[in-house]
């Protein structure tokens, strides 16, 4: 622990020197978190509306999560999936009992959950539909991860540049465009992959008929409907799963981010029919669903459900969204406020980055989503007082910005 003595400036220099340079990091060093707040190495307090990119939904160091981490770490950390372990079984059961799904596969990240869904789609297409049904149709501006398959599925060239050749077997169509999806589907289509609300792509909420329309297209063609709920799931949008807003269910759903409140986990949930192609040995992960991480996820999900946090997200989301809309007349830089629950985007007429920086300097951490959208993803435990404080800072910053 002798590095505790190293001053912040030196640490930031070492960060630039010793890390691969693939992150554009904010120049602060965070040292502690509690609830809706984090503190940097200079003792400055910030209201955290980034939640580690929509991960720490119960806030920082929630006692239930910290307790589960302590207990699990002192009981059984890891045994691999060649053995059974109780927390993994309890978590799978809890997920199934609270969703459309019959079965769950555990992994370690969002990309891996989508990777599992994509492999499932290919095997399902081949074995249940026809030999040449391998293609996955995804949407422009989507985000599905950084592995080669998931970055191929991601409909944003900026994430793909330099990594070509990309994977074969993917197509992209505009989001929220049923006609385009219908036209793109053909005798090769194995699955449609979409986010119920696009997160990284700008907090894009589709029309009410979009997800039901995709369901219908999949029912007609036999293709699997895969919802990437890595960002929208676990209560973020005001329902436990975002698909509940649409009144339709997917065949496959992927989760990660908030599922264990910051301990790395991914999950792929599916129906029996789809799961049946994942025969013993066909897919796997060494770390996937360790007793440790699943104990923490179990504590997290039990708290989200038991404390009715999706309802809370809906209520607090309305407060925040109403407040943001009320700022609009005084802040001409704001073009649109959109979102659902506590996944909120503020579209600007100018780049979001300077606004994100100005908010941080005023004590509020927020994200961007694409070039011109400020993204707000507070923890689901956020209080009205926090919302008012954030609105005050946003008002000051946005009113000063030139449209
Ligand atoms: C974050 C995210 C991913 C990727 O998750 P990682 O854990 O970073 O691999 C995939 N899809 C969506 C919708 C996401 O928001």
Nearest-atom number in ligand 1 for the CA of 195 is 13
Mutation pick for ligand 1 pocket among 55, 200, 255, 375 (CB with most ligand atoms within 8 Å): 200
Q: Is the CB of 398 under 6 A from ligand 1?
A: no
**Rg of the Cα atoms in the chain:** 21
Could you list the active site residues?
A: 143, 228, 257
* Among 110, 177, 183, CA closest to 147: 110
pLDDT > 90: percent of the chain:
98
pLDDT in tens, 188-212: 999 999 999 999 999 999 999 999 9
Q: Which two tokens stand for residue 48?
A: 């955290």
Residue 223, CA distances (Å) to 141, 267, 272, 359 in order: 22, 21, 15, 44
327-347, pLDDT tens digit by residue? 999 999 999 999 999 999 999
Pick the residue whose CA is nearest to atom 11 on ligand 1.
Answer: 144
Cβ neighbour number for residue 370 with a 10 Å cutoff = 19
CA of 44 to the centre of ligand 1 (A): 29
What is the token pair recorded at 47? 């209201």
Instruction: Report d(CA 288, CA 280) in Å as an integer.
Output: 15
Say yes or no: CB of residue 111 within 6 Å of ligand 1.
Answer: yes
Q: What is the pLDDT of residue 4?
A: 62
Taking residues 367-390, report their average pLDDT.
97
Q: What is residue 5's predicted lDDT score, i.e. its pLDDT?
A: 85
pLDDT in tens, 50-95: 999 999 999 999 999 999 999 999 999 999 999 999 999 999 999 9
Strand stretches in 147-198, DSSP E: 170-173, 189-194
pLDDT of residue 215 exceeding 80, the answer is yes
Alpha carbon of 390 to ligand 1 centroid (Å): 26
**C-alpha span between 314 and 295 (Å, rounded):** 27
Tens of pLDDT, residue by residue over 144-194, are 999 999 999 999 999 999 999 999 999 999 999 999 999 999 999 999 999
Q: pLDDT-derived band of residue 403, with 50, 70 and 90 as boundaries?
A: confident
230 lines ligand 1 (CB under 6 A): yes
Domains and CATH numbers, the chain: 8-61+308-400 (3.90.1150.10), 76-306 (3.40.640.10)
Q: Ligand 1 pocket, 229 CB below 6 A?
A: no
Ligand 1 center–CA 236 separation, angstroms: 14
User: 177 Cβ partners below 8 Å, 6+ apart?
Assistant: none
Quote the ligand 1 centre to 143 CA distance (angstroms). 7
CA pair distance 396, 388, nearest whole angstrom:
12
CA torsion through residues 391, 396, 397, 401, sign: positive
Token pair belonging to 214: 């995709």
In this prediction, residue 3 has a pLDDT band, given cuts at 50, 70 and 90, of low
Would the pLDDT of 1 be above 50?
no
DSSP secondary structure of 102-149:
SEEEEESSHHHHHHHHHHHHHHHIIIII-TT--EEEEEBT----SSHH
CB 206 within 8 A of CB 278: no
Across-strand partners of 374? 346, 368
Mean pLDDT taken over the chain: 97
């Amino acid at each position: 622990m002798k590095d505790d003595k190293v001053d912040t400036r030196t640490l930031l220099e070492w960060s630039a020197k010793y890390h691969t340079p693939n992150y554009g990091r904010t120049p602060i060093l965070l040292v502690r978190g509690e609830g809706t707040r984090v503190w940097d190495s200079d003792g400055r307090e910030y209201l955290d509306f980034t939640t580690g990119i929509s991960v720490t939904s119960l806030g920082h160091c929630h006692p239930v999560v910290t307790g589960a981490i302590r207990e699990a770490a002192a009981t059984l950390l890891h045994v691999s999936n060649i053995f059974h372990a109780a927390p993994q079984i309890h978590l799978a059961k809890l997920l199934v009992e609270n969703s459309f799904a019959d079965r769950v596969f555990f992994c370690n990240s969002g990309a891996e959950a989508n990777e599992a869904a994509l492999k499932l789609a290919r095997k399902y297409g081949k074995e249940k539909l026809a030999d040449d049904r391998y293609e996955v149709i995804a949407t422009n501006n989507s985000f599905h991860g950084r592995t080669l398959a998931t970055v191929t599925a991601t409909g944003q060239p900026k994430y793909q540049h330099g990594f070509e050749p990309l994977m074969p077997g993917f197509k992209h169509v505009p989001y929220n465009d049923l006609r385009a999806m219908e036209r793109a589907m053909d005798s090769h289509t194995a699955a449609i992959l979409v986010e119920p609300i696009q997160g990284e792509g700008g907090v894009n909420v589709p029309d009410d008929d979009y997800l039901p329309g995709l369901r219908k297209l999949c029912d007609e063609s036999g293709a699997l409907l895969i919802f990437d709920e890595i960002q929208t799931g676990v209560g973020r949008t005001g329902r436990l799963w975002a698909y509940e807003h649409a009144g339709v269910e997917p065949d496959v759903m992927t989760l990660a981010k908030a599922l264990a409140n910051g301990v790395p986990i991914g999950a792929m949930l599916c129906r029996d029919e789809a799961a049946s192609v994942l025969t013993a040995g066909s897919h796997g992960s060494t770390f996937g669903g360790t007793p440790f991480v699943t104990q923490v996820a179990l504590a997290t999900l039990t708290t989200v459900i038991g404390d009715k946090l999706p309802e809370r997200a809906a209520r607090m989301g309305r407060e925040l969204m109403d407040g943001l809309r009320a700022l609009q007349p005084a802040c001409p830089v704001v073009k649109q406020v959109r979102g659902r629950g506590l996944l909120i985007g503020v579209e600007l007429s100018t780049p979001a980055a300077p606004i994100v920086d100005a908010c941080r300097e005023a004590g509020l951490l927020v994200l961007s989503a694409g070039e011109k959208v400020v993204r707000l993803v507070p923890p689901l435990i956020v209080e009205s007082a926090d919302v008012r404080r954030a609105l005050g800072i946003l008002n000051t910053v946005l009113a000063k910005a030139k449209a």
